[in-house]
Amino acid sequence: MKYLIFIIFLLLSFNVLAGEWNEKPVLCTNKKDVLNTIQSKKEILLYKAVQGTKVRTEEGLAEKPVFIPLKIYANLLTGTYTIIEFHAAYDSHCVISIGENFNQIGKGS
């Protein structure tokens, strides 16, 4: 019986699907400033996609994600990269990530 109670306790204690939305500092600015920074590092556009992302509303995080453009720029010689997303509703370009040691693994299809 105590094994059954122990197993029930374990099942109730752990939520495998647990997760939480965190606040991450993101720099948002106009297109000109973002492109000037990218050009100063001699990065080129390598990838673009449409991402689903959570956005804030006056009530908090929106329940449904919005789909917005995402672009990845990199300088393959120096290894720097910049990832940006564009919020058309605000005419805002947000820098999601910048960094070094960018390595392209494999060949694209």
- The residue ranking higher by pLDDT, 10 or 104, is 104
- The residue ranking higher by pLDDT, 4 or 63, is 63
Answer whether residue 88 is part of any domain.
Answer: yes
Q: Comparing C-alpha atoms, which of 105, 102, 95 is closest to residue 28?
A: 95
| Residues 26/95, Cβ–Cβ less than 8 Å | yes
Answer whether residue 38 is part of any domain.
Answer: yes
The number of distinct structural domains making up the chain is 1
Answer whether residue 42 is part of any domain.
Answer: yes
Please give the residue range of the domain that contains residue 75.
Answer: 25-99
- 35-64: per-residue pLDDT in tens? 999 999 999 999 999 998 877 777 877 778
Q: What is the 3 state secondary structure string of 13-80?
A: HCCCCCCCCCCCCCEEECHHHHHHHHHHCCCEEEEEEEEEECCEECCEECCCCEEEEEEEEECCCCCC
| Average pLDDT value over all residues in the chain | 82
Across 71-93, average pLDDT: 93
Answer whether residue 61 is part of any domain.
Answer: yes
